[in-house]
Amino acid sequence: MGKTSVAAATALKTALAGHKCLVLTIDPATRLRTALEMDLGGTEQKVPLHDAEENGELWAAIVNIRASLDRAVLREAKPEEAQSILEHPLYQVLITSLAGMQELIAIERIHQAVAEGYHSIFIDTAPSRHALEFLDKPEFFAHLVSFPIVKLVGRTYQWWLRSRLARLSRMTFELYTRVEEILGATLVHQVLDFFSIFRKIAEGYADRAEQTLSMLRDPHTTSFTIVTTPFKARRDAEYFLTELRKRKFSVSAMVVNRIWPRFPATVPPDSHPMLQELLTWYGNVSGAHHRIWNDVSRQFSSQIPKLIPLTELPRDVDGVSALYELVRVMETWHTQGANSSKFSR
Amino acid sequence: MNNSSAGSRLTIFCGKGGVGKTSMALAFALWNADQGRPVLVVTSHPLRELAISVSLAGLKEAHPQAAANLYIIHIDAREVLANKVRQIVRSELLIKRVLASPIYKSLIEVAPGLKEIAFLGRLHQLSEERTEDGTETGVPAKYDLLIWDAPATGHFLQTLKVSQSFEMYLSGPFALLGREVAEFFGDVSNFALLPVTLLEEMAVDETIELCQKLASELKMYPTGVVCNMASPLLAASDVDFESLYNQMEQAGEAGENLQFIFDRQQHERSLFQKLRSSITTEFHRIERRPSWTSDLNLLWDLSRQLGGLLKT
């Protein structure tokens, strides 16, 4: 789709206009990552710009799930606890397997970035359905950690288990026993054991996620941009408009990216038939792209304030010069001035 | 293709998000269904999502034989787990309470590998044409082919890996299921893997990485790789391409515009070359269609292309 490229180009555009900007990305292409000198550990790197207006700066960072989580653990937990979390067999697995973990960390990362005083932050995230579902329930951690057994502290939970189970209501005890039976005692004990130590961090995340989410819902501080390509444009627009609105996020723009430019390219009639075929095929595809753009911009103009077409570049976006080219393409379409603290997804 | 002693052959379409896995899975299903073979497609999209039903609107009228043989379902891992609860816990009241309890709901979310085991277990069941007692509609009694429209790479690999390393966590009813799943996916003759890719930098890199991980971590190898949205020129030989390039250079004024087109062509060819030199398998090129009158027509066209390429 080009989400990363569009986010990075928009950040560049805003930086050139004299603002301090950060672009956060989950999964950049290798060449772009190298070009922007993004550090795999997740720390922000300044992108050298020679022609920005005064005070304009562009910074770039990868959202590194593992590094972010490790940092949070080390920050929030006591040293011995931190070690036992980092070494817990479940910890590694949870990072990769927990649905919505990426998005939770991304939200956490936004929270950090906002505190660092950027004028505007641009973030692209994975297009997964998880992303939207998870935004619905940052409190599921809270459910887990509120269960009486887990509320009890420390790794001595076996002892607590024996002594405390007697204090649980019969129904709760019965439920717990059944769940243990169904899911297997090993699994349940491991998870509860882990969360009894991870609880504070989990609660911290849930709290901060709530805060960040209400900021994300405020249209004065945050806007969402749908990035799509011609053949997926209609469906993506409908889907994201519905899903984002349902969750009270506001969509301010849609970028239809990778539109093939139309050329009046003709070749002499005695040219090789393959050349003719190629040109006809190309003409059909680019024609279809333009038709779709016209249809979609007409259909959604009343629902989405800014609709921006971007033409396909001759090569994949592989560096800063390609980003400059994207900015140039964007600027041929007159858009409103940059708002403060703009997020784009 | 139908190995009657082992049950249905499972074909898995996998790859990066957005490359066209679902389209390829549906196209392959349509082709087989039209040949008279009953096909069951397991999709990673919940069925209520617009995409699939919109794409196939009008199938019954246009291609009744295919429609009669095509079945599409979505396996919801939480539902599979809930059914397990219903099997194990006898009391109706208790079942309701367990399923509604925050501890159950949270545990199934965070228990590593649990939903994956549930999903794969159901997939395995389906591959042996076993139906669950009284569960979902939409599953035919018999089918020749089971197609899995898999989730995007990361989630896909994670799911498969669970099939090999679940023992750490599971005792009880899921341990048995886990062992069955491990055995099934441990035998590569039970399924065919078909990564789908686009000829773009990120997709190609991810496809190569996927195949490397499948080989090194899971000892699984692709049956073929499907290159979606290729241009018609991709099939041309290098020699032909060179001479076309030269012709273009001589085209004068039109040349600059043509340069754009050829740059993309060149890029596509070099990415295809990169793929071929990194993965040892058959490559199938599916041409990008310039336009189509309906999603169904597109899928039908894709099914003709794909069916001809994949031997079944």
In B, minimum Cα distance to A94 occurs at: B112
CA distances from B84 to A182, A227, A272, B113, B145 (A): 8, 41, 64, 16, 26
Tokens standing for A152? 């009890």
Contact A144 B102 (CB under 8 A): yes
Chain A positions in Cβ-Cβ contact with residue B50 (cut-off 8 Å): 235, 238-239
Whether A338 maps to a domain, the answer reads no
Instruction: Provide the residue type at A55 as one letter.
Output: N
| Summary mean pLDDT of chain B | 84
Report pLDDT digits (tens) over B167-211: 655 677 888 888 889 999 989 899 999 999 999 888 999 999 999
Query: Does residue A293 form part of some domain?
Result: yes
Tell me the C-alpha distance between B188 and B37, whole Å: 23
| Domains held by chain A: number | 1
The confidence score (pLDDT) of residue B5 equals 37
Distance, CA of A9 to chain centre: 16
Contact call for A183 and B50, based on CB within 8 A: no
Separation CA A172–CA A164 (nearest Å): 12
For B207-228, letters b (16+ CB in 10 Å) and e give bbebbeebeeebebebbbbbbb
Helix runs in chain B, H state only: 21-34, 50-55, 59-62, 64-69, 77-88, 92-100, 102-110, 114-127, 153-162, 173-186, 201-218, 238-249, 255-278, 295-309
Report CA dihedral (A160, A166, A169, A170) to the nearest 10 degrees.
130
- Which tens digits make up the pLDDT trace of B228-259? 999 988 988 888 888 888 877 776 656 667 78
B103–chain A Cβ distance below 8 A for any pair: yes
Q: Does B112 touch chain A (CB under 8 A)?
A: yes
Measured distance CA(B52)–CA(B17) in Å, rounded: 16
Q: Does B132 map to a domain?
A: yes
- Per-residue pLDDT in tens (0 to 9) along chain A, 345 residues: 788 889 999 999 999 999 999 998 877 777 788 888 888 888 889 998 888 888 899 999 988 878 888 888 888 888 888 888 888 877 877 766 665 666 677 777 888 888 888 999 998 876 555 556 656 655 555 555 555 444 443 344 455 455 555 566 677 777 778 888 888 887 777 777 777 777 777 777 777 777 887 888 888 888 889 989 898 888 889 888 988 888 888 899 999 999 998 877 677 777 778 888 888 888 889 999 999 999 999 999 999 999 999 988 877 777 888 889 888 888 876 543 332 223 232
Phi/psi at B224 (nearest 5 deg)?
-175, 170
Return the pLDDT at B166: 66
Whole domain around residue A42: which residue ranges? 3-331
Minimal CA separation from B11 to chain A, in Å: 23
Domain containing B133 equals 9-231+280-309
Q: pLDDT band for position B102 (50/70/90)?
A: confident
pLDDT tens, position by position, A118-149: 999 998 876 555 556 656 655 555 555 555 44
Write out chain B residues lying below 8 Å of A281, CB-based: 231-232, 290
Instruction: Say if B253 falls within a structural domain.
Output: no
* Residue from A278, A286, A329 to probe the interface with B (highest B Cβ count within 10 Å): A278
**Residues in B 20-49 with any Cβ partner in A closer than 8 A:** none
Handedness of CA A114, A117, A118, A119 (dihedral sign): positive
Chain B residues within an 8 Å CB radius of A187: 107, 111, 114, 169-172, 174
A209 lies in some domain:
yes
Share of chain B above pLDDT 90, in %: 41
B10-34 tens-digit pLDDT: 999 999 888 889 899 999 999 999 9
Question: Residue B305 carries which side chain, given as an amino acid letter?
Answer: Q
Report which DSSP code applies to A248. Answer: T
Total count of domains within chain B: 1
For residue A26, being part of any structural domain is answered with yes
pLDDT tens track for A164-192? 555 666 777 777 788 888 888 877 777 77
For residues B135-152, average pLDDT: 80
Cβ distance of B290 and A186 shorter than 8 Å:
no
Residues in chain A: 345
CA distance A265 to B247: 14
Does the predicted TM-score (pTM) go above 0.80? yes
Spatial distance between the Cα atoms of A88 and A107, rounded to a whole number of angstroms: 24
Say how far apart CA A152 and CA B144 lie, in whole Å: 54
- How many other C-beta atoms are found inside a 10 Å radius of the C-beta of residue A35? 20
Q: Is A247 a domain residue?
A: yes
User: What is the average per-residue pLDDT within B103-127?
Assistant: 85
Measure the CA–CA gap between A213 and A264, rounded to whole angstroms: 48
Q: Which of A178, A185, A263 sits opposite B171 (nearest CB)?
A: A185
State how beta strands A45-47 and A57-62 pair: antiparallel
Q: What pLDDT score was predicted for residue A127?
A: 53
Predicted-complex ipTM score: 0.79
Q: What are the phi and psi torsion angles at B159 (to 5°)?
A: -60, -50
**What local confidence, expressed as pLDDT, does residue A339 receive?**
28
Q: Could B103 and A176 be called an inter-chain contact, meaning their C-beta atoms sit closer than 8 Å?
A: yes
Cα B269 to Cα B260: distance, rounded to the nearest angstrom? 14
Q: Return the closest-CA partner of residue B207 out of B164, B157, B257.
A: B157
The token pair at A56 is 């304009």
Reading phi first (left if > 0) and then psi (alpha if -120 to 50, else beta), residue A183 is in alpha
Name the residue among A29, A98, A272 with its Cβ closest to that of B247.
A272
Query: Is A342 inside any structural domain?
Result: no
**Residue B23 resides in a domain:** yes
User: Are A274 and B114 inside 8 Å of each other by CB?
Assistant: no
Q: Which of A94, A184, A315 sits opposite B174 (nearest CB)?
A: A184
Across the A:B interface, residue pairs with CB atoms under 8 Å apart total: 178
Inter-residue contact A251 to A245 (CB < 8 Å): yes
Q: What is the DSSP letter of B45?
A: S
CB B205 within 8 A of CB A31: no
Q: How far apart are CA A16 and CA A50, in angstroms?
A: 9
Please answer yes or no on whether A316 and B201 come within 8 Å at the CB atom. yes
Q: Count the Cβ atoms, other than its own, within 10 Å of residue A60.
A: 26
Higher pLDDT, B44 or B254: B44
pLDDT value of position B170: 66
Does A175 sit within 8 Å of B98, measured CB to CB? yes
Q: What is the pLDDT of residue A154?
A: 36
The reply to whether A345 falls in a domain is no
| Sign of CA pseudo-dihedral B304, B307, B308, B309 | positive
The C-alpha atoms of residue B67 and residue B64 are separated, in whole angstroms, by: 5
Strand order in the sheet with A45-47: A45-47, A57-62, A20-25, A120-124
Residues A279 and A198: their CA atoms lie apart, in Å, by 60
If one counts every other C-beta atom within 10 angstroms of the C-beta of residue A160, the result is 19
Q: Which amino acid, residue A122?
A: F
Judge whether residue B149 has pLDDT over 90.
yes
Share of chain B above pLDDT 70, in %: 87
Q: Is residue B239 part of a domain?
A: no
pLDDT of residue B2: 38
CATH code of the domain in which A139 resides? 3.40.50.300
Provide the CATH number for the domain around residue B136: 3.40.50.300
* In a domain? residue A241: yes
Let me know if residue B265 belongs to a domain: no
- Integer distance in angstroms from the first to the last C-alpha of chain B? 6
Q: Select the residue from B81, B88, B107, B242 to test the A interface by mutation, using most A Cβ atoms within 10 A.
A: B107
What is the least distance, in Å, from the CA of A55 to any CA of chain B? Answer: 33
